Structure 1
């Protein structure tokens, strides 16, 4: 069926994948099979002035990534119980709702690279990760209130080279942030959970120690 879009680039009547849409401040691209790089973060991980939406998404993303690596906010994801909870949520529906290629759980944000399976929408997958983990993380912490920041960044891969570079960027994030000296030392990422060599699919090398 032909997709029809309104003047503000939102899908018209009908379900399924949305293509380009902008429900809040950030634009998103929702389509099956395309590999997506997604970043979502804790609610207090950035000061409000960092997210000036008058800037382009590229400029804002670079500034956001730099600020996130400074480890601002409560950094609840540094709690091993909460990091394990988030990691479990990411892995739970691998090869069912999406194919997960790479991920890294930092103290105040999460990076993941995946492509959706047909029938699953980007916003719904990210919402399921965040809603499930927020409720349980708040119980672990003995608190109430907002856990994750409402929106998220996504960028789709245009080539295999870009995808390879993105996997490297994701898995080297703890090194870049000064949290370890080698990416395999970081407990909460796909780098440490991959078996040695042989497979062209990083997701097939996940281990569950």
Structure 2
């Protein structure tokens, strides 16, 4: 398995948020529907996060990463799990579009470890393969699924947020914790069977 090497070069790509890739190292990525968090909440969160990041340059050690998630990721997850917005991914046919897109190039462009399609967001744990770029993989997922879901719903316009969140996986323990988080997210959000889609790679 390939994890973050803190002593090796890390490739950075920046949209609204910074994104980090180190070859084929595992990545935990999250993106959400555009209407899933009220803009007033998100603007304040982004302002506080930007100020904190100025003083905490990545890559982080384990303690700094825990501080970040306690301050910022936890709050974001709480808001997403409240189920704000139209939650169009709660519909099985639209959730299946996302799940099928994630599986389509598995073991060709990337290797999936686990994912969950929630009513208004998606978590994916995977590693890019060969020279495939993180931003290209996620752009492909979001672009294809937005077009197909809009067709199914008979709608137009923006479906997903313009960016996504990601973090590199440090070691096997970190990988296990992310798998566990994905597995428990539907329970934490008090979802019923049929309101989410969960995938976990089987290890022999």
TM range (shorter): 0.7 to 0.9
Q: Equivalent residue for 2:28?
A: 37
Q: CA deviation at 1:144?
A: 0.6
Q: Equivalent residue for 1:114?
A: 126
1:108-153 CA-partner distances (Å, limit 9, x unpaired): 0000000001211111000000000100100100111100011000
TM-score, reference length from structure 1: 0.78
Structure number with greater CO (CA < 8 Å, separation at least 6) is: 2
2:15 counterpart of 1:23: yes
Structure with greater helix percent: 2
2:57 counterpart of 1:55: no
Structure 1 residue ranges (4+ consecutive) displaced by more than 3 angstroms after TM superposition: 184-187
Q: CA deviation at 1:60?
A: 2.8
CA contact (8 A) 1:31 1:122 kept: no
Distance across 1 between alignment mates of 2:96 and 2:194? 16
Q: Which runs of 5+ in 1 are unaligned?
A: 1-16, 201-209
Aligned length: 175
1:63-88 CA-partner distances (Å, limit 9, x unpaired): 11110000000000001110010000
TM-score, reference length from structure 2: 0.80
CA contact (8 A) 2:118 2:196 kept: no
Q: Equivalent residue for 1:94?
A: 106
Distance across 2 between alignment mates of 1:46 and 1:115? 28
